[in-house]
Amino acid sequence: MTRRSNLLFLLPAFAALLGAILIFPGAIEAQQAPVHSAPQAKDGGVVIMLCDGKTSIEVKGLKPGQPMSHEQALAVTRDLMTTWQRAHPQQKWETAQASPQSAAASAPEASAPASSSSPGAALGLENAPKAVAGAQQGDTYASFTNRDYMIWKTETNKFVADGKRIFHSDKELGGTIGVSCDMCHPDASNTHPQTYPKYQVQLQRVALLRDMIDWCIENPVKGKALDPNDPKLRALEAYILAQRKGTPLNFGQH
């Protein structure tokens, strides 16, 4: 599986986990959410169930009510989805959840409300789009809900917010003379990310935006250049680009 499809795969899994957490205690009667009866824990841990109402795994060592770390939660979603995938080798999660027939074909006993409408409805999102019928079924983006879009937006904005914070902090930039990016570039102005890649005359080579960020960190900021994959550099890039929404790209412009 490619890296990209892995990522795409993980997103519904994360959403599904949230659903599972909400549903597991069986406390949301008011919304008539589907009640899934999760099996008893066998090893003293907590059983987490996928929102298909069938697939479950036990997280050993986790006490009921005890929160998981972000990493732990991600690992659990991965395990759940892997388990589901193993049981449904020829299927895509999105298709199976969007189409009762398809889901029923491989799992005849699945008649929970979650699979008879969209997963969004199961989560109580009134505006959740109905599963798209016809040719678009199975399309990566066909069966996502408002909740999914919300999560993507939140995650993206968080990435940009991280960049903004670093952009404004000489300490996080690793600066040594009190200088931060915003001092010369309020609102990331005059960074013109839309002009890269371009031949940077002063560097005498073709540069990307990140090369210029690193140049600034090394020189006016007097810090150490960041590795291209450093989360800080990626976040800075995200913040700068986000400030230029709607600006036409014009690479090579001087």
Structure tokens given for 215:
């140049």
Amino acid at 18: L
Min CB(153)–another protein separation in Å: 21
The site for another protein (CB under 8 A) is made up of 168, 177-179, 182-187, 189-190, 192, 195, 202, 215-216, 219-220, 222
The CA angle 104-110-111, to the nearest 5 degrees, is 105
Which of 35/203 has CB closer to another protein? 203
Helix residue ranges per DSSP H, the chain = 3-23, 70-87, 93-98, 100-106, 113-116, 119-122, 146-167, 209-218, 231-242
Which of 75/206 has CB closer to another protein? 206
Q: What CA–CA distances, in Å, run from 38 to 35, 54, 82, 119, 200? A: 9, 8, 18, 18, 60
Min CB(189)–another protein separation in Å: 4
Min CB(157)–another protein separation in Å: 16
Query: What's the CA gap between 20 and 33, in Å, rounded?
Result: 11
Which of 135/177 has CB closer to another protein? 177
Min CB(176)–another protein separation in Å: 8
Which of 101/204 has CB closer to another protein? 204
Which of 178/228 has CB closer to another protein? 178
Query: What's the CA gap between 110 and 116, in Å, rounded?
Result: 9
Query: What's the CA gap between 231 and 173, in Å, rounded?
Result: 12
Min CB(177)–another protein separation in Å: 4
